[in-house]
Chain A
Amino acid sequence: DSGVTQTPKHLITATGQRVTLRCSPRSGDLSVYWYQQSLDQGLQFLIQYYNGEERAKGNILERFSAQQFPDLHSELNLSSLELGDSALYFCASSGGQGSDYEQYFGPGTRLTVT
């Protein structure tokens, strides 16, 4: 167990809908990252937040947005969903105890768009 939690574990929704994925980082970690992993694909970096502020942006679509709240949990909002958005979405955190570098991954949220 990495200490990073994500909810829900699974999500099934229809095209055109909007969903929110939630992530709670490890205790003490200030950075949260979001990744997308499509079937049999690698990990695509979406976005990073540090202590409530956006720090780095990767291949995140305009239909997607994220935020980090004062209690450091983060939410990833996906709107106008398309079939191609079906994927495993991972959250990771870092910056607390131990190395600043190492990212600890949560168990992921599997999103299925039908």
Chain B
Amino acid sequence: GENVEQHPSTLSVQEGDSAVIKCTYSDSASNYFPWYKQELGKRPQLIIDIRSNVGEKKDQRIAVTLNKTAKHFSLHITETQPEDSAVYFCAADPYIYNNNDMRFGAGTRLTVKP
């Protein structure tokens, strides 16, 4: 089955700096790569996702890049703000119509210091 590795496990940045979180996956059949943000005691919420036919996607201050050949994808957050502090999870899914098998990375605890 799919195995997703995520690095780093913790990340501390100064407000305004950029943050980068990297993930690798093992199953070449994976074709959907979402990123979730989970604040303390709350549900995971999707912040951005990318499909395997796209190399990069951007939404305001966040962007995701995908390298299918190398089987890795990354989350980039620019101009970080204290409210970006949370745990971020990457995931990979060999999605077939209505048949998911999503596997998550272990998470990255991001702290943005004001």
Contacts and interface: CB of A to CB of B under 8 A. Distances in A.
Nearest to A35: B104
Interface stretch (B14-22, B53-61, B73-81, B95-103): B95-103
Interface residues of B, number: 26
A106 interface: yes
Interface residues of A, number: 27
Given A90-B43, A108-B43, A50 B98 contact: yes
B101 A101 contact: no
Interface of A is mostly: loop
Interface string A42-82: 11110010110001101000000000000000000000000
A33 B43 contact: no
6 contacts: A56-B99, A101-B49, A101-B93, A102-B34, A103-B34, A103-B102
